[in-house]
A = this chain, B = another copy of it.
Amino acid sequence: MPAHRLRVIPLGGLGEIGKNMMALEYGNDIIVIDAGLMFPSEETPGVDLLVPDISYLLERQQNVRGIVITHGHEDHIGALPYILPRLAPPIYATRFTRELILVGLKQRGVKTDAKLNLVGPGSRITLGSFTIEFFSVCHSIPDCVGLIIHTPRGIVVHSGDFKIDHTPVISEATNFSQLASLGAKGVLLLLSDSTYVELPGYTPSEGVVSDTLDRIVSQAKGRVIVTTFASLVSRLQQVLDVAVKRERRVFIIGRSMKEIVNMALKTGYLTAPPGTICRLDELKSLPHNRVIVLSTGSQGEPTSALVRMANRDPKSQLQIVPGDTVVISATPIPGNETLVSKTTDSLFRQGANVIYSKLAQVHVHGHASQEELKLLLSLVKPKFFVPVHGEYRHLILHANLAQSMGIPEDNTFVLDNGDVLELGQDSGKVVAKNQAGVVYVSGLLTGELDSVLLQDRRSLSRDGIVVVTIAVDAESRKLARKPRIITRGFVDAADEQALIEKGQDAVQAALDHDRGRLADVSFVDTRVRESLGRFLYERIHRRPIIIPVVMEVGKSERKRTS
């Protein structure tokens, strides 16, 4: 009998889409799967990105045998630049993934001692008690893998982010026979992607987009500008293929698009006959119906090439003209809907014909729908099931799906980040629920997300701030002058001069009433907040943050500070 239980510890990515990170622990061995970031939402204004809290790993640093990466999306690799300076075990990634990790480390100026080992489908590595085999899966970036992890307790299968695509554009198809033979042997645990569990049926093959793109390009009388995720290399390949077929030249704009296209051409993930891709300065000499532009901006990112075009930004490398066709070959990531809609509207305003996923099948997504999830479950036939990579509702629905396939309810575990699930041979149990923290990155600062700070920011964005300057005469202990109010983000100061003046009067009246206590700074502070807060709420029903600045002025003051 094995001496230890297998511990499954999600550090990120459960109950959220983003910052995926999962630890498996057996005795003194820990392996980590993925190390991703999460982009901020409205709820975390002023935050650049969020990464998992790795305290659990830092406390057991000597046990961490390696970080295994399933693919190169930011929600799977984006935390490495922040983690590696503190924890540098060997890293295992496929070729394309490794290239993207290197780009990320370079961009953030991070040097690391961690070894970046190359693996691929069929590779087999041993990290302490764990032996890991890699199998290829289809997703929306090249070189994705799932993991077959042999542990002393049994086999763990991690799906990675996947869909089942029998006609992929550039990836290898999923190796079903390998999974099926595992299922026959007996799998202890399946960890599987829950992102699109709400969708019935099958996710369409990447192949179907080719036909749509070809139809659009062949019908377009002018330039065709295609925007998509830079890392969606199969889509880029489809655009290049259509360009060759329809005798158009391709121009690349946007920093990340250029970087990835160059990298993918160099590494052979992207192929094009010589002369297909041209420099931007060659664009002017071509008739519009010979041009395709590949651009960043599919998420309406404010500084992206497409948004600059949409807004007629003078810095834009390209101006939209009537006759242009813009293809948004992507769907908005939740939270980006408004940005994408605004960009679409602005492009229409410039005279472009915009084609997006509601109007034509110009995009298919990269995650498995219900029937594919069922197929994986029935191939792998796991004893235990843990849905990963999803909001809480996705995890629950995926657990329900697994139960409908015959996995007992007691053997399915919907976990939260920070939970410690221990698996024995026949049963599993959550033995600890740690508070999994979130680390924010904001400019050059990182830290624990502080709810007071975020609350203040929300409050400031709603009602603004009112600074009240109070000068107290150091000798007489009276107000040395009328209180003065400065505001930002509160009201239109020019329109509301009378309100501001009456507010000053209200503070003065409140303090005059208690003038005996003006030497007590904290009393003045409270009194100002209360009196002005009440006044403003009564007058206009708003509650700005009020900062009293109390200063003693007068002769005695000068003595004290000299």
Contacts and interface: CB of A to CB of B under 8 A. Distances in A.
Interface of A: 15, 41-42, 45-46, 198-199, 334-335, 337-338, 341, 344-345, 348-349, 354, 358-359, 391-393, 396-397, 442-445, 447-448, 450, 452-453, 456-465, 467, 469, 471, 473, 475, 480-481, 486, 488-492, 495-496, 539-542, 545, 547, 549, 551-555, 557-558, 561
Q: How many copies does the complex hold?
A: 2
Contact of A457 (B344, B489, B539): B489
Given A461-B458, A541-B444, A558 B554 contact: yes
A542 B445 contact: yes
Given A445-B496, A457-B489, 12 more contacts: A46-B461, A46-B542, A443-B541, A445-B540, A447-B495, A457-B461, A460-B465, A467-B549, A469-B549, A471-B557, A488-B547, A554-B558
Given A42-B42, A443-B541, A558-B555, A488 B460 contact: yes
Given A338-B335, A393-B345, A447-B492, A462 B549 contact: no
A249 to B, nearest CB: 29
Contacts of A344: 393
Question: A-side binding surface: helix, strand, loop or mixed?
Answer: mixed
Nearest to A344: B393
In the complex, the 4 A-B pairs of residues with the closest C-beta atoms, listed nearest first = A443-B541, A461-B461, A460-B460, A456-B489
Contacts of A198: 358-359
A465 B463 CA distance: 13
Contacts of A489: 46, 453, 456-457, 459-460
A456 B488 contact: yes
Contacts of A349: 392
Contact of A338 (B334, B450, B464, B467): B334
A554 B551 contact: no
A561 B453 contact: no
Contacts of A467: 467, 547, 549
Most buried by B among A344, A396, A447, A475: A396
Contacts of A552: 553
Given A348-B396, A467-B547, A450 B542 contact: no
B480 A558 contact: yes
A464 B46 contact: yes
7 contacts: A198-B358, A348-B393, A442-B540, A444-B541, A460-B465, A465-B465, A473-B558
A486 B525 CA distance: 13
A492 B345 contact: no
A334 B341 CA distance: 10
A460 B465 CA distance: 9
Contacts of A491: 445, 453
A459 to B, nearest CB: 8
Contact of A341 (B337, B391, B450): B391
Contacts of A443: 540-542
A540 B393 CA distance: 37
Nearest to A41: B338
